Structure 1
Amino acid sequence: MTAKSTAVAAKETAKDDADIDARIYQSIFDGVLNHRLTPGTKLPEPELCQLFGAGRAVVRRVLERLAYDGIVVLRPNKGAVIAAPTPEETREIFEARRALESTLVELAVQRASARDIEALRRQLAEEHEAMHRFDQPSWARLTSCFHLRIGELAGNTILHNYLTELISRCSLIVGVYEAPGNAPCEHDEHAAIVDCIEARDAAGALARMSAHLRELEARIETSRMPREKSLGHLLGMT
């Protein structure tokens, strides 16, 4: 094999690995977003290798990236599991999300075109349809995608990437700790935000988005979240 053909083969191998990386990451990310993967779900490396036809080094690299993004916890000698946010982490995640989405929705008001508004309206229609046919997985996916779409309209890739991470972590929280029967996001609240964007009402959009996210956080039952046990509890004294 010539030096040139060796370089080409190495380049193709690297591309294949990158494609598999992206596929594994996106599959786990989507599983969290759609509430199929809940906190505590085990992610055995051998099974992931078999499912995706990937080597252990590739799988481990993806799990490390997911751990960095707060979606997975890597336990020494026990493998990876989907993360289980605590009440304190929940407060911090929603606080960060409100600050970030306030900036994003303000930018979206400035930059969204008439065609963008039409696309948001179509997405709202899909959301409404999923809600009325009681398709919870589709409903959850569409409500998350609504926020991501506004992030895209803001036109700032870095901020949008941060939002993607925060929404995936919020999906973990909402999927397990929201009271049964509640919507992941209220459809009418989304519609009101779009109305403000279309009217170029930045103040209104900011107020609506902040109230919407506070309402979502208020529906989280933190009493159901795992808490670190004190030494007194472990000793049977409390």
Structure 2
Amino acid sequence: MNTATNAIQATDDSAESGAQQIRDAIRDAIVERRLTPGTKLSESDVGNLFNVSRTLARAALQALSYEGLVSVEKNRGAFVAYPSPEEARQIFAARRLIEPGILREAAAKITPSEIQHLKQLLLEETRLMGERGQTARRAEIKASGDFHLTIAAISGNAIMQRFMDELVARSSLVIALYGQSTISSCGHSEHGDIVAAIERNDLDQACHLMVHHIAHIEADLDLRERKSQGLKEAFDV
């Protein structure tokens, strides 16, 4: 490979890394609900915010659209996705199917240090639940999602880990839109029960608890279809 080819490869690698960093930053903002569904994400605004070209901004937004987190609309631009009630149901149905299997894989190879790490995550959730303010709330939401992602990482299945990365992010969008209560997006005590079942090697119970836990999250959503109203009906005149 000659010098010119090396330079081109280095430029391509740098561009890919830059787009990935922007993608990760926007994804985190969506997961933590700092960016709400429907928020416009123009290439120029994203480029200016991260001090990169519109080409890099476009690549990052396209990557997010592949994951279902951003919707790109012709002649309108990119927006944080606005999942429908049916899409929300499908996301949680997928989680009920996938997460028990991931949990079994993780439990089959989990080490004492990894169990301790899960317990540390629970302690962090407890600490954040006792704090007030938007910053603490966002951190609590992220910690809740990290619990599920950590189990996926322990499983050692990279494909399933990527699936969970997307599902947790899209679940956060759904909860931001349809969640009815101010409780954590994942029940903290239920996380503790799952860890306890894994630790005593009761995998059937751990899987049962995981399915119940996901159903509990979904039960807090208001997924009723709403009919569009006209202007007069909306203002009751």
Give SS of 1:39's match: coil
Which structure 1 residue ranges, 5 or more long, are not aligned?
Answer: none
Residue 166 of structure 1 deviates from its aligned partner by 0.7
Further displaced range: 167-176 or 55-64:
55-64
Q: Give 2:68's aligned amino acid.
A: G
Specify the alignment match of 1:110 in structure 2.
108
Specify the alignment match of 2:171 in structure 1.
170
2:213 & 2:114 partners in 1: Cα distance?
Answer: 21
Specify the alignment match of 1:94 in structure 2.
92
| Residues matched between the structures, number | 230
Residue 213 of structure 1 deviates from its aligned partner by 0.3
Specify the alignment match of 1:24 in structure 2.
22
Q: Give 1:112's aligned amino acid.
A: I
Residue 96 of structure 1 deviates from its aligned partner by 0.3
1:178 & 1:140 partners in 2: Cα distance?
Answer: 13
2:177 & 2:152 partners in 1: Cα distance?
Answer: 25
| Deviations 1:30-69 (CA, angstroms, capped at 9, x unpaired) | 0111110110011010111122232222222221221111
Specify the alignment match of 2:71 in structure 1.
73
Residue 117 of structure 1 deviates from its aligned partner by 0.2
Whether the 8 Å CA contact 1:25–1:62 is kept in 2: the answer is yes
Specify the alignment match of 1:212 in structure 2.
213
Give SS of 1:81's match: strand
Specify the alignment match of 1:125 in structure 2.
123
2:169 & 2:182 partners in 1: Cα distance?
Answer: 20
Further displaced range: 178-187 or 69-78:
178-187
Which structure 2 residue ranges, 5 or more long, are not aligned?
Answer: 233-237
Residue 22 of structure 1 deviates from its aligned partner by 0.9
Give SS of 1:35's match: coil
The TM-score, its normalising length taken from structure 1, stands at 0.91
2:200 matches 1:199 = yes
The TM-score, its normalising length taken from structure 2, stands at 0.91
Whether the 8 Å CA contact 2:110–2:154 is kept in 1: the answer is yes
Specify the alignment match of 1:56 in structure 2.
54
Q: Give 1:67's aligned amino acid.
A: S
Whether the 8 Å CA contact 2:144–2:184 is kept in 1: the answer is no
| Deviations 1:45-103 (CA, angstroms, capped at 9, x unpaired) | 01111222322222222212211111011111111000111110111100001111011
2:160 matches 1:159 = yes
Aligned-residue RMSD, C-alpha: 1.9
1:67 & 1:14 partners in 2: Cα distance?
Answer: 21
1:116 & 1:155 partners in 2: Cα distance?
Answer: 12
Specify the alignment match of 2:137 in structure 1.
136
Distance 1:12 1:175, change over 3 A: same
Specify the alignment match of 2:80 in structure 1.
82
Q: Give 2:189's aligned amino acid.
A: D
Give SS of 1:222's match: coil
Q: Give 1:89's aligned amino acid.
A: E
| Deviations 1:164-199 (CA, angstroms, capped at 9, x unpaired) | 111110000112321142221111000000001111
Further displaced range: 82-91 or 9-18:
9-18
1:94 & 1:228 partners in 2: Cα distance?
Answer: 23
1:49 & 1:202 partners in 2: Cα distance?
Answer: 47
Give SS of 1:65's match: helix
